[in-house]
Structure 1
Amino acid sequence: MELSYLSDFLNEEAAMNMILRHALPLLEMDVLKTFVAIAETGNFTTAAEAVYRTPSAVSMQIKKLEETLGCTLFLRDARSVSLTPKGELLLGFARRLLSLNNETVSRFLLPDMNGVVRVGAPEDVGERILPEVLKRFAETYPNVTVDVSIGMSNAMRKRVDEHRLDIAIYNSLSDEASKDGEILMQEKLVWAGAKCGNAHMRDPLPVSMWEDGCVWRADAVEKLSRAGRKFRVAFLSAYTTGQRAAVLAGLAIAPLPRYLVQGEMVQLGERDGLPDLGHYDIGLKVVEDAPAPVLAVADHVREAFADLQLQAGRVAEPV
């Protein structure tokens, strides 16, 4: 009797698995490309121009996608379009699928690709994302050399304009990131202090910062001044390792990405008399008329950031 019941249960489970395997729909790359374009521009008309379709065709694509997934992806009002929580979830997967599609097609159509691709990034991004990008890219295109430069975000973007770099990954304030590039991810900028430290209680406030030209420095200085908090630049360094060293020694506080505040560092905020620093964007800028090797590296960068967001259990906030 028990064996018969178990057999029936297993047969039902196998049947259900078979139904699910055959019933699950496939997502179309063109539709996902349109979805990402709308999410990034916040506008159906602008997105339609980007994907070379009419606004009505784009609306039909999104309607079909929402019906396929059984959920609403966008909130619409008279002026703008924003992602729903389900839409935010799909955005990370969509970017990853599009990058994987490009990588797969390129691998077969351009198997013998070679050359040199020049990539620039700030230290925090380079340390966080580039090792995985370089590893995966080398496995796919072993004959392409990637030349990496580390420096300040604004300098990296300028070097792309001057054709001295092919790709720049950069940090930028949220209202500037999409002006000449695309947004890959949004991060929270916070004040970091030493665990059990008291640097944030001193007057004037000792701050560890980057040199002039750093977007985090300019934003932090502006918000401290606006809040009326007296401060002094106690330490200068062009690298996050220098900022963290000053913080860990208890000699100063520093504006850092939230993901870097760990171990013997703690996050400080308004309860500690410090202004909220808000968010910043991580963007990608690719040289105009980029050749195939450059486009392939850019796709790997996009895929790496999409993976990073999914692993963290979140996606970039809609802009």
Structure 2
Amino acid sequence: MRHLDTESLGMLIAIVDTGGFTAAAERVGRTQSAVSARIAQLEDNLGVRLLERSRRGISLTETGERLVAHARRLLAYESEALADLKGGTPEGSVRVGMPDDYVDAYFTPTIARFAAAYPRVEISIRADLSKHIEPEVDRGHIDVALLTRDSARPTGELIKREKLLWLAARGYRPERNSPLPLALFPTGCRARPHIASSLDKAGLSWRVACTSSSQGGIHAAIETGLCITALPECAAPPDWRRLGPAEGLPPLPDIEVALFLAPAASSAARRLADMLRAALAMPVVEAA
């Protein structure tokens, strides 16, 4: 009877996550040649090619993609079983994803509590647009994610509804300009269509004066006093002006924040998810 070698599977996952054999070898504490030999042996045992090597780098074959999905679940179950038998706290790593404007508001208060409770768990954070992170959760590349729901295709577990606010720096009146100058996250941001639609329905002309993929970039643009923005209430700096009908701006719809877990989420990932649920608790939680 043939069995899958979990150590080789771990090496394969390390190659996928790090993008190459050298970085993967450093992660697993082996030499590059040893990792290469184990992957070659795994391919030989299975009778299939798992990786494609080209000048552009390394990528998974279709079979490799399927095996990695299984491998992540197997290793997660193995880790959970070992932790249960040892009677200890979770170990390993948890990969977290969320938009940049959620990190300080939602994750910073939780990460200190989680690190104190589970000091042997390594946390890595990816800040990116929700539409980019969501498929990575499905593929098992991200373990836990807090994302803005796609209103056209709501998925994940609804955790919180957030108000979108019009904001400007104190001491400036950029909302008086026409067209209205905006600082926004890039195209693909799930709040951006709501912002544009609200302005269009109100018959207001507007233009994008600044685009930034980071919260810091948006803040810098607003502090110049040249434009306004719309952010979730949780991410609104307390010293910025809140704008609304008195300034001639239309109301904005709420956005929905959802929790996503990878198919083979480890016990550490699930415990972090529990902490996030508690921190962002809302009266009604729906599952989709």
The TM-score bracket by the shorter chain reads 0.5 to 0.7
Asked whether the equivalents of residues 193 and 268 of structure 1 are also in contact (C-alpha less than 8 Å), the reply is yes
The residue matched to 1:145 in structure 2 has which SS? strand
Asked whether the equivalents of residues 186 and 317 of structure 1 are also in contact (C-alpha less than 8 Å), the reply is no
- Report the counterpart of residue 124 of structure 1 in structure 2: 101
- Cα gap change, 1:246/1:108 in structure 2, threshold over 3 Å: closer, same or farther? farther
Q: Which runs of 4+ in 1 moved over 6 A?
A: 106-109
1:300-315 alignment, distance < 5 Å:
300-306=275-281, 315=282
Q: Unaligned stretches of 5+ in structure 1? A: 1-105, 307-314
Q: Give the residue type in structure 2 aligned to 1:144.
A: V
Q: Give the residue type in structure 2 aligned to 1:267.
A: R
TM-score (norm 1): 0.58
Shift of 1:120: 0.5
**2:192 corresponds to which of 217, 224, 231:** 217
C-alpha distance in 2, partners of 1:264/1:299?
32
The residue matched to 1:186 in structure 2 has which SS? strand
- Report the counterpart of residue 160 of structure 2 in structure 1: 185
Shift of 1:245: 2.1
- Report the counterpart of residue 148 of structure 2 in structure 1: 171
- Cα gap change, 1:243/1:121 in structure 2, threshold over 3 Å: closer, same or farther? same
- Cα gap change, 1:260/1:143 in structure 2, threshold over 3 Å: closer, same or farther? closer
The residue matched to 2:161 in structure 1 has which SS? strand
Cα RMSD of the aligned pairs, angstroms, is 2.5
**2:113 corresponds to which of 119, 136, 139:** 136
Q: Does 1:204 align with 2:175?
A: no
Deviations 1:5-54 (A, max 9, x none): xxxxxxxxxxxxxxxxxxxxxxxxxxxxxxxxxxxxxxxxxxxxxxxxxx
- Report the counterpart of residue 255 of structure 1 in structure 2: 230
TM-score (norm 2): 0.64
Deviations 1:249-292 (A, max 9, x none): 21001011224434441111122221111211211000113232
Deviations 1:129-183 (A, max 9, x none): 222322222222222212211111111111101211111111236x458x32111
Q: Does 1:246 align with 2:205?
A: no
C-alpha distance in 1, partners of 2:194/2:118?
39
**1:298 corresponds to which of 270, 273, 280:** 273
Shift of 1:317: 7.1
Asked whether the equivalents of residues 165 and 232 of structure 2 are also in contact (C-alpha less than 8 Å), the reply is yes
Identity across matched positions, percent: 29
C-alpha distance in 1, partners of 2:256/2:135?
17
Asked whether the equivalents of residues 186 and 316 of structure 1 are also in contact (C-alpha less than 8 Å), the reply is no
- Report the counterpart of residue 132 of structure 2 in structure 1: 155
The residue matched to 1:192 in structure 2 has which SS? strand
Asked whether the equivalents of residues 167 and 286 of structure 1 are also in contact (C-alpha less than 8 Å), the reply is yes
Q: Give the residue type in structure 1 aligned to 2:94.
A: V
